[in-house]
């Protein structure tokens, strides 16, 4: 069912919960995990003046991505990663659709019950609303 798992990462400690959940899911379902990191672009179209800037950010992200991949351990499942430059929520949703993932599994934060609407514009909320495939939020 959920064999092709996409895990967006931003290299913060909250990603550990999502990575752990993805690893458990992939081991049980003999699945594959793809980690994706989006380098946020400043404009809608990539400015050629900023290409080197985005390239440096992508190289730094690749180093951190290697550590994230290693944190998945030695499980018997396929794993890979990719770096995308763009707007985070839109890029994640478009990549998931283009590559036909079964599920997007990402970390989220706890919502304050006294102010539930205050957090509606988070990346996790946007992805959950916009994605055409199922989305699993890990808190």
CATH number, position 8? 3.40.50.620
Return the pLDDT at 46: 64
The phi, psi pair for 120, rounded to 5°, reads -75, -15
Task: List, for residues 102-138, the tens digit of each pLDDT value.
Answer: 999 999 877 777 876 666 788 998 999 999 999 999 9
Residues ≥6 apart with Cβ < 8 Å to 66: none
Q: Which residues pair with 79 in a beta bridge?
A: 33
Grade residue 51 by pLDDT with cuts at 50, 70 and 90: confident
Q: DSSP for 45-79?
A: S--GGGHHHHHHHHHHHHHHHHHHHHTTTT-SSEE
Q: pTM higher than 0.95 for the full model?
A: no
**Rounded mean pLDDT of 49-65?**
91
**Rounded mean pLDDT of 63-79?**
94
Where in the sequence is the domain holding 115, given as residue range(s)? 4-138
CB-count burial class (<10 Å; 0-12, 13-18, 19+) for 96: buried
Residue 25 DSSP SS3? helix
Task: List, for residues 77-106, the tens digit of each pLDDT value.
Answer: 999 999 999 999 999 999 999 999 999 999
Return the pLDDT at 6: 98
Q: Please state the domain count of the chain.
A: 1
Residue 71 is given by DSSP the state T
Instruction: Report how far residue 84's alpha carbon sits from residue 64's, in angstroms, rounded to the nearest whole number.
Output: 14
What percentage of the chain exceeds 90 in pLDDT?
A: 73
pLDDT at 71 over 80: yes
Grade residue 44 by pLDDT with cuts at 50, 70 and 90: low
In this structure, what is the dihedral angle of CA atoms 45, 37, 63, 3, given to the nearest 10 degrees?
-140
């Amino acid at each position: 069912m959920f064999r092709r798992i996409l895990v967006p990462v931003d290299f913060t400690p909250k990603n550990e919960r999502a990575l752990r959940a993805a690893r458990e899911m992939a081991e049980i379902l003999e699945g594959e995990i793809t980690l994706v990191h989006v380098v946020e672009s400043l404009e809608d179209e990539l400015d050629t003046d900023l290409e080197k800037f985005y390239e440096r950010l992508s190289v730094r992200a690749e180093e951190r991505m290697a550590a994230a991949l290693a944190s998945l351990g030695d499980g018997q499942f396929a794993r890979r990663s990719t770096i995308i430059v763009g707007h985070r929520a839109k890029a994640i949703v478009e990549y998931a659709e283009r590559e036909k993932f079964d599920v997007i599994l990402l970390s989220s934060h706890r919502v304050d019950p006294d102010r539930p609407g205050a957090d509606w514009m988070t990346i996790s909320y946007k992805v959950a609303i916009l994605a055409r495939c199922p989305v699993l939020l890990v808190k």
